[in-house]
Amino acid sequence: MTIMKGVIHVTGEHDTGKTTFALECGAQPEQICFFDDDVKGRATIEDCQERWAELGRHFGAYHDLTQLGKSKKVLEFHEACLDIINAIRPGQFDVIVWDTWSKFLKTCGVYAKTYPDKFRERNQWSAHPRIRPAEINKAGTFYEAEIIGQLSRLAPTVILVTHLKNLYINNAQVQNKQIPDSGKTLMRVPRMRIWLRQNPDGRPVPIGLFLKRFDKKIITENGLRTLSVVPRKIVPADGDMSLWDTIGRYWDDPVGNRPPTPEETPNEYELSILDGTLTADQRRTLNLMLRAGMVDSDEVELEPAPKERSTQEKVQELAGSTTPEEIAKELGVPLPVVKAMLK
């Protein structure tokens, strides 16, 4: 398959090859722009550069954000990153890889908090102690989506890598339960979200769990149809050198509507990852925490069911990452109405 276009979110366990997976996306090295905010990233790139130099090849662009961020305050680091982004020409690279995205994500919230005039008509945040944090958080989310949108306009493929973080409920850690170290934007914007896990058979190529699966459109005699490409879990075959090889096989032979094979079926722990639930062991641990008074409710939802939003709220949510014309098309709302809501 050719390089998958769109925003791709890669997360997963330690030492599963998240950076490797991102760099193996199918692009030639000259066409990759790599934002490296992971300590071990430089050694990886230097090793690659040394080998490629013998072939007369080179890396497209490498930006060491760990070094860039030294002695810089949060906003200084954020603005230094923006300078690099703004210097990229549209079409200069086929792929932008940002590993890891989490640190820059946190600077978006600080930026929004510092410059309310860029996000609020009143040029200030609410003075209410409960409303103010919600306003700032929402603005940070919109701003993150805006930056990701800018990256997407610079390169057809954008791969954002994040680590995992422990799950806390009422300030108490849930044992053996982790979630991606990312915000709401990376739940909504990407075309594909994949969680890499260690391969139980010991092979270096990991298995993949799809937090968000991708599809492809086909034309039938009944018109346009959407075809599911991958199951929720994929396992590399013996000859696969990369999990992208595995994905490529599914692209050529999509899973469609067939039931998954036993190998493609997530186990209980993997389902807890995909569905945001707790395994039986994790639930028992949570009950012990409840009895010990560490948590004050046994009705816990990792992702509460969202309340029905008004059209105004839906328009405002999409405003930071897409155009008014696209919002009108997606929501089925007249364009003049959308523009009025955005004023």
pLDDT of 299: 42
Q: What are phi and psi of 280, to 5 degrees?
A: -60, -40
322 pLDDT above the threshold of 90: no
Q: Which residue has the higher pLDDT, 226 or 277?
A: 226
Average pLDDT, the chain: 87
State pLDDT tens for residues 20-41.
999 999 999 999 999 999 877 7
Q: Which residue has the higher pLDDT, 94 or 183?
A: 94
The token pair at 26 is 């199918």
pLDDT of 230: 96
Q: Decide the pairing of beta strands 207-212 and 32-36.
A: unpaired
Q: What are phi and psi of 319, to 5 degrees?
A: -60, -35
Which of the four pLDDT bands, split at 50, 70 and 90, describes residue 321?
Answer: low
303 pLDDT above the threshold of 70: no
**pLDDT-wise least confident of 179-193, 202-216, 278-292:** 278-292
State pLDDT tens for residues 51-93.
777 888 888 999 999 999 998 999 999 999 999 999 999 999 9
Task: List b or e across 37-74, with b for residues whose CB sees 16 or more CB atoms inside 10 angstroms.
Answer: bbeebeebbeebeeeeeeeeeebbbbbebeebbeeeee
Spans of all domains in the chain? 6-197, 278-305, 311-342
Average pLDDT of the segment spanning 241-257: 95
Please say whether the structural domain 6-197 has been given the CATH code 3.20.20.330.
no
Beta strands in 148-263 (DSSP E): 157-161, 164-169, 172-180, 192-197, 207-212, 215-220, 223-228, 233-234
**Angle 11-16-22 from CA coordinates, rounded to 5°:** 60
Q: How many CB atoms lie within 10 A of CB 329?
A: 13
